[in-house]
Structure 1
Amino acid sequence: MPRVPGRMRLLALLLLPSLALAQTSVVSQPALPSRGLALPPTGAALVDEATALSLNPAGLGFVNGSQLFYLHERNLVHDGLGDGVFLATRLLGLGLGGAMEWIRGRAEPDYRRTSLGLSLGTRTLQLGGSWHAYGSSHRDIDALDTFDVGLTARPMRALSLGAVVRDINAPTEGTLALKRQYNLGVGVRPLDERYTLGVDWLFSEGAFRQGQATYTVNAEVIPGLRLGAGVSHGFTSGVPIALQVAATVDTSHLGLTYAAGGTNAGLDHLVAVRLSSETYRSIAPRGGVVTLLDLNDALSGGTSPVLSWLGVTEADPYLRLTRWLDLATQDDRLAGVVVKMESLPGVSWGKAEELRQALLRLRASGKRVMAVVLSTDDLGYFVASAADRIYALQESILYINGLAVHLQTYGGTMEKLGVHWDVARVGRFKTAPEQLSRTEPSDASLESTNAYLDTEVAVYEKAVQEGRKVPVERLHALWALGLPHPKRAVELGLMDGIISSTELDKKVAELVPGGRFSTTYAPRDERDGRWARRRRIAVVPVLGDIIGGRSREDPLGFSRLAGAETVIRALEQAQSDPSVAAIVVRVDSGGGEVLASHLMYEAVMEAAKHKPVVASMGDMAASGGYYAAIGAHEVFALPTTLTGSIGVFYIKPAVEGLLSGLLGVHQESLTRAPLADILDVWRPWTPEEQEAAQAWADASYDSFITEVALRRRMDKAKVDEVARGRVWSGQDALARGLVDKLGGLLEAVDSARMRAGIPPDEELDLVVMGEARGFFSALGGEPGVRAALSLLPAQEPALPESLRALARSAGLNLMLLQPGVKAMLPFQITVR
């Protein structure tokens, strides 16, 4: 019976409440084979890295990238060695982990432990499980298989709860019999993420009172340096007090930890090395980071035409850029930004004002901003004027020659073609049909366009004066050159110099002494150690022409359509999501179908009954776009936003002259009611049909201004005075009570935050709900009742996209040709 004493000794060791259960390296007995290597100070509710596989497999669910840990332990008490490799990654929403550990000691049998685990759940609740298989020259250990299950709940930013059942299968092999072990943990963060306290209670089945308590404290002293300590003790005799201390130095993707501790019986040393795809907070480089922001690339988007056809799109590039700039402003690592100016796709004067304000916020937060101009027009220079320094290259192209608007009319073309246009409209300024029915712009069209252009010029001139600290006459002098050379811009003080590409590093060094240039910088790309989910503000976009059905964009990116169904669904989703504290409706639309606009307006009002809703206007929020916005509690516009245009119209072609006179087509109409063919496109309206169509438009207009008066708390007659299709700048709209405040998307977010009662220092997540999709976006999903009402026939223009793009470049909106009452901008305005 020579092996019995050894087995009995091993069995006794397995059943002892070893300090290795306490997640510290401090042990007075050899580590249990079912426990593996010890870890630096942590707890069941705290662990959320690859090493969670050894302690609480639920922690694997909080790993967002991929991690590799190597651990080496030297136990001087038992003259033992241990090595382990831990892997973790996130795949298909699951946290996956694997590990292999080797435990060697002179006093006890060597063994190897192989582990696999997974976790699933959310940021607030994770459930995990792990399997451990053992290999050893000792046959009883070699036959062992154990299973653990764990739960981690993080319902609040300051609270984490953990529960683990170890050796849940309570295996028995030969003379080895492992009892189930239980670990209950609590973690708190009394201040913020930098300081964490944990308490664990560890006990064997049937021995709750004979358990062991572990107290853990971890602190991030400075970014990149973490200190930790753990104390373990029991409440019965025979379990000594043990202490462990640790220090971790982090760089972005590499970390090194050293932990030491012990009891009066001796010391235990642990070294851990981390490699990760996730970026950890690291010691900030002297002088900070300087990065490049290519506005052309940032605004161009990245979805391929093939993926767009399949309904797969990326986030709206402008919203994504806005979020980048906001996070960069808050990032202490960032010291400077080099802005590459080449073009601003998809940006007009409203969004340009937002970009300019974003650069000013960067500067106000202590960052230095340098603009490098490759080519730019007045719009780009308007944005660049917010930078600390503006440089051009020797051959940079400057289209800085003043602002202009071009209004095309096609009445003469229609006369030559023999096409007559019937129009029913309300408002002298609702001039959209004039594009097709007049040979030249009306006085009303010229009046409103000139007023808007004057506002644009005034805002532009003021920005340059304030940004460059030069009189406005300098800008006028540059305009007078038509195509100025960069040298002249420098002479006039509108730029700081002409540089070669080889001088760029030198200029960056002058702007940010000691700064380290990084092309891979991304704000908030660091590992998110926050507990619970951040409260969120949902951004619901209304981008492009408003239609029934679903929002979508064509694969080539020429057009965007804001579908009522998509917007309604997004508002309902945000309204019902408990993590969404407030909603921002982002409108960048010149309007479209009246019914679809009205349904959006009603959905915004319904959401506002449940949560704070703020509207943010971009380049334009006019007519139907304005209608959708006013359902919010508060409406923000930029000074140069094109808004208002409160009015409706109906337009119908009569093509008899074209088809009959030119092509010899004949049509005979047989009717059974006086106005049965009022919508027929063959002949012009009769006086009775014109009267009926006008009554239809009048009723729709009356409903429109009634709702505006209700939401804006204005007298209906006063609304009518500023309505009738008149287009206003955001600045002028504010003066007339049509909007509440001047500001961009981030100001709207700040207002939504305040209305939701969220402290200014609490971090929020912005989430976009209801983005446009591709060609197959109409497939799948069951709409709610209100969304189902918006499944209006979404008419597609009959012309191919190439001709539609040509029409847009000529200033013609082809939605005019679709049937139905429209609430749209009276013309396409492009100010350059």
Structure 2
Amino acid sequence: MKNFLISFLGALAGIWFSLFLAVIGIFIVIAAAMASSGGNTTVNVSNNSVLCVDLSGTIYDRAPKIDIREAIRGGGLEKNAQVLADITGAVTAAASDDRIEGIVMNCSGVSAGIAQLTAIIEALKDFKKNAPEKWIYAYADAYTQGDYYVASVADSVFINPVGMVEISGLSLSSLYYKRLLDKLGVDMQVVKVGTYKSAVEPYLLDKMSDPAREQAQLFLKNIWNDICTTIADARGVTVADVNKWADDFVFTKDASTYKDLKIVDGLLYRHEFDRKIADLTGCDKIKDIKTITTAQYAKVADTGKVGSGKGANIAVLYATGEITDNSGNGIVASELVPEILELAEDNDIDGLIMYVNSPGGSAFASEQIWEALEQYKKLTGNPFYVSMADYAASGGYYISCGADRIFAQPVTLTGSIGIFGMIPDFSGLVNDKIGIGVSTVTTNANSNFPTILEPMTEAQKTSMQAYVNRGYELFTSRCAEGRGMSQDSIKAIGEGRVWDGTEALKLGLVDELGGLDTALAAMARQLNVESYTVHSYPVAKDKWYDLLLEAGIEDIKAAIMRQELGEMCSLYDAIRQVKGMSVLQCRMEFTKVNL
């Protein structure tokens, strides 16, 4: 016994000592990080500078939450990751900065939503309008379709003599799991409202339904037409010409034909293009060209201020990602609702714009966010606008519908006013495939509901359908109230149908076409000010040690789990997502339009 006690106490002391060292180590690392970040590198903008718009890597609406594991290692966002507001803000500010001679767009495979790219295009067009004496040049060894969409508005577009331009049109593809689920013995039990509510179709069908195909064909056609019009206007050709480029596999053609087709203005090797920029900026040598990135310039140009910035304070609240109740990396109601109510108590804020980029999610969470925004309007009397990005559909539209004015890009996917519930039945897999029997004892008819081990009874299906119907009635009533329309009118354009921004404007689901800058300008007019300052919320924590201090055990455990799973991480995330879903969902199907 004596030896056991000595061994036990020794082990316990070892554990405590290890924990003590770990805690001390963390504090040392945090202190070192704080010290190293204390002196920010000063960015100087020289005369005859060139603003570089880098169209490569991922563009985010806001800087995403830094991964804890990568943060501890000293890492952060992936290489070339950028924030949309830095790009658009820098381009806008550069127009009135005499130190900036022009803009160079370096194109090498941008990863961004179509609405994000459209916002950059709008900023570039404003730059040309407000600073006609300045220039915009674009260069690439090979233009992806997304790259070229933005680059087309440049004054001159250049390409490597052996490069290529990808123009092929739009497409979307969906995976359907019905036959797989049948083989596994899994039945997805679905209750829904909305003929076009196709988010559940992958689990019920083995191919796209006619209504889903109908809506996809319409919004794809409208979005592509808007893209073609932008390119055609910029390049001095017709929409028919752009469609011919797409139909003729232009990316397979020799680059020497691009100039004749007016796709580009010239063929240059990179050093020849750099020499041209050197000449434009009065530099004898290429290495003397003074360049500044949009991220660097956004910091020194104070892009949050318009004019003197003293006229009004406008809050921009970012609501991006899937809508959940209490956890997740997207729109978390338990976090966003207090943020909205705190903004309502801030007397310095004169107006609120919510930037929405969401396919929806939890119906309950959407209602809580909608109600908090109603409280904001009631308590402050301030104007409340919504600016829609790539998606503001289903729950994303739910939280938007109460705004005084809604702004959407022509390429925005919105609407999808519908609701569904989905409960998987694994009894076929468990009983028939694996051979496990299940026995249940209950006190009441529905004591074990919901369960994945037994199918729903007819009574349960009827009750669940009534539950979903009630949710749809609430959803459509919120939309009707917010849009000043009858509930029947909302239902007529609802049914879970997804609309592009152009159609949504015709139907009265949005008020005006344009991005966040358009919404800000409109709010400034309503506030009767020419100068204003933009304040972004939630306030971003860009220091990794702040994130480490607020990180919980679950965050760290999930990060470690993802690292161990490697390629299987996506399956782990999907299981966690389904597990955390609330019963009722206001969610559009996963729709990635391939640009």
1:331 pairs with 2:97: yes
Q: Distance in 1 between matches of 2:592 and 2:526?
A: 35
1:720 pairs with 2:491: yes
C-alpha displacement at 1:741, in angstroms?
0.7
Corresponding position of 1:422: 189
Opposite residue 470 of structure 2, the aligned amino acid is A
CA distance change for structure 1 residues 319 and 563 in 2, over 3 Å: closer, same or farther? Answer: farther
CA distance change for structure 1 residues 630 and 526 in 2, over 3 Å: closer, same or farther? Answer: closer
Corresponding position of 1:830: 593
Q: Which has the higher helix share?
A: 2
Corresponding position of 2:129: 364
C-alpha displacement at 1:407, in angstroms?
2.0
C-alpha displacement at 1:307, in angstroms?
6.5
Q: Distance in 2 between matches of 1:801 and 1:821?
A: 31
1:386 pairs with 2:153: yes
- Structure 1: which 5+ residue stretches go unaligned? 1-90, 97-275, 553-560, 782-794
Q: Distance in 2 between matches of 1:778 and 1:621?
A: 31
Please say which structure displays the higher CA radius of gyration: 1
Q: 1:537 aligns with which of 296, 314, 318?
A: 314
Corresponding position of 2:109: 343
C-alpha displacement at 1:816, in angstroms?
5.5
How high is the TM-score relative to the length of structure 1?
0.58
Q: Distance in 1 between matches of 2:443 and 2:43?
A: 74
Corresponding position of 1:444: 211
Opposite residue 401 of structure 1, the aligned amino acid is S
Corresponding position of 2:59: 299
C-alpha displacement at 1:683, in angstroms?
2.3
Opposite residue 318 of structure 1, the aligned amino acid is L
Q: Is the 8 A contact 2:89 2:298 kept in 1?
A: no
C-alpha displacement at 1:531, in angstroms?
9.6
Q: 1:290 aligns with which of 27, 38, 50?
A: 50
C-alpha displacement at 1:819, in angstroms?
4.3
C-alpha displacement at 1:734, in angstroms?
0.7
1:752-767 matches, cutoff 5 A? 752-758=523-529, 760=530, 762-767=531-536
Corresponding position of 1:525: 300
Q: 1:432 aligns with which of 199, 222, 228?
A: 199
Corresponding position of 1:735: 506
Stretch deviating more after TM superposition (288-297 or 612-621) = 288-297
CA distance change for structure 1 residues 563 and 322 in 2, over 3 Å: closer, same or farther? Answer: farther
Q: Is the 8 A contact 2:430 2:436 kept in 1?
A: yes
C-alpha displacement at 1:418, in angstroms?
1.0
- Structure 2: which 5+ residue stretches go unaligned? 1-33, 552-557
Q: Distance in 2 between matches of 1:831 and 1:277?
A: 39
Q: 2:237 aligns with which of 460, 467, 470?
A: 470
Corresponding position of 1:267: none
Q: Deviations over 1:343-368 (max 9, x none)?
A: 222x2222221111111111112231
Q: Is the 8 A contact 1:547 1:592 kept in 2?
A: yes
C-alpha displacement at 1:572, in angstroms?
2.8
Q: Distance in 2 between matches of 1:563 and 1:351?
A: 22
Q: Distance in 2 between matches of 1:304 and 1:519?
A: 28
C-alpha displacement at 1:763, in angstroms?
4.7
C-alpha displacement at 1:801, in angstroms?
7.6
Q: Distance in 1 between matches of 2:583 and 2:546?
A: 25
CA distance change for structure 1 residues 645 and 671 in 2, over 3 Å: closer, same or farther? Answer: same
CA distance change for structure 1 residues 368 and 753 in 2, over 3 Å: closer, same or farther? Answer: same
Q: Distance in 2 between matches of 1:814 and 1:478?
A: 44
Identity of aligned residues (%): 24
1:321-720 matches, cutoff 5 A? 321-345=87-111, 347-366=112-131, 367-479=134-246, 480-481=248-249, 483-485=251-253, 486-508=255-277, 517-520=289-292, 522-523=297-298, 525=300, 535-549=312-326, 552=329, 561-609=330-378, 610=380, 611-720=382-491
Q: Deviations over 1:85-128 (max 9, x none)?
A: xxxxxx99xx99xxxxxxxxxxxxxxxxxxxxxxxxxxxxxxxx
Q: Is the 8 A contact 2:310 2:533 kept in 1?
A: no
Q: Match of 2:252, SS?
A: coil
Opposite residue 333 of structure 1, the aligned amino acid is R
Corresponding position of 1:253: none
Corresponding position of 2:19: none
Corresponding position of 1:241: none
Q: Distance in 1 between matches of 2:546 and 2:459?
A: 43
Q: Is the 8 A contact 2:165 2:250 kept in 1?
A: no
Q: Is the 8 A contact 1:623 1:645 kept in 2?
A: yes
CA distance change for structure 1 residues 473 and 511 in 2, over 3 Å: closer, same or farther? Answer: farther
Q: Match of 1:673, SS?
A: coil
Stretch deviating more after TM superposition (649-658 or 327-336) = 327-336
C-alpha displacement at 1:443, in angstroms?
0.9
Opposite residue 536 of structure 2, the aligned amino acid is V
Corresponding position of 2:516: 745
Q: Which has the higher strand share?
A: 1
Q: Is the 8 A contact 1:540 1:770 kept in 2?
A: no
Q: Deviations over 1:761-786 (max 9, x none)?
A: x25244332558999969869xxxxx
CA distance change for structure 1 residues 342 and 531 in 2, over 3 Å: closer, same or farther? Answer: closer
Q: Is the 8 A contact 1:421 1:653 kept in 2?
A: yes
Q: Match of 2:326, SS?
A: coil
C-alpha displacement at 1:737, in angstroms?
0.5
Corresponding residue pairs, total = 529
Opposite residue 110 of structure 2, the aligned amino acid is L
Q: Is the 8 A contact 1:377 1:400 kept in 2?
A: yes
Q: Is the 8 A contact 2:86 2:298 kept in 1?
A: no
Stretch deviating more after TM superposition (486-495 or 689-698) = 486-495
CA distance change for structure 1 residues 291 and 526 in 2, over 3 Å: closer, same or farther? Answer: closer
CA distance change for structure 1 residues 386 and 482 in 2, over 3 Å: closer, same or farther? Answer: closer
Corresponding position of 2:537: 768
Opposite residue 663 of structure 1, the aligned amino acid is I
C-alpha displacement at 1:813, in angstroms?
10
C-alpha displacement at 1:694, in angstroms?
0.5
Q: Is the 8 A contact 2:152 2:231 kept in 1?
A: yes
Q: Is the 8 A contact 1:541 1:771 kept in 2?
A: no
Q: Is the 8 A contact 1:539 1:767 kept in 2?
A: yes
Corresponding position of 2:84: 318
CA distance change for structure 1 residues 491 and 804 in 2, over 3 Å: closer, same or farther? Answer: farther
Q: Is the 8 A contact 1:546 1:589 kept in 2?
A: yes
Give the root-mean-square deviation of aligned CA atoms: 3.7
Opposite residue 391 of structure 2, the aligned amino acid is M
C-alpha displacement at 1:507, in angstroms?
2.8
C-alpha displacement at 1:671, in angstroms?
2.0
C-alpha displacement at 1:720, in angstroms?
0.3
Q: Distance in 2 between matches of 1:441 and 1:772?
A: 42
